Amino acid sequence: AQSVTQLDSQVPVFEEAPVELRCNYSSSVSVYLFWYVQYPNQGLQLLLKYLSGSTLVESINGFEAEFNKSQTSFHLRKPSVHISDTAEYFCAVSDLGTYKYIFGTGTRLKVLA
Partner 1 sequence: DGGITQSPKYLFRKEGQNVTLSCEQNLNHDAMYWYRQDPGQGLRLIYYSQIVNDFQKGDIAEGYSVSREKKESFPLTVTSAQKNPTAFYLCASSIVGSNEQFFGPGTRLTVL
**Contact positions toward partner 1, by CB under 8 A?**
4, 9, 32, 34, 36, 41-46, 49, 51, 90, 94, 98-101, 103-106
| Spatial CB neighbours of 99, under 8 Å, sequence gap ≥ 6 | none
Closest approach of partner 1 to the CB of residue 105, in Å: 4
| DSSP conformational letter for 41 | T
| Backbone φ, ψ for residue 84 (5° rounding) | -70, -10
Residue number with CB closer to partner 1 (54 or 113): 54
Residue number with CB closer to partner 1 (17 or 51): 51
Closest approach of partner 1 to the CB of residue 77, in Å: 21
Closest approach of partner 1 to the CB of residue 86, in Å: 17
Residue number with CB closer to partner 1 (43 or 53): 43
Residue number with CB closer to partner 1 (42 or 80): 42
CB-count burial class (<10 Å; 0-12, 13-18, 19+) for 46: exposed
Q: How far is the C-alpha of 78 from the C-alpha of 11, rounded, in Å?
A: 13
Closest approach of partner 1 to the CB of residue 96, in Å: 8
Q: How far is the C-alpha of 53 from the C-alpha of 57, rounded, in Å?
A: 9
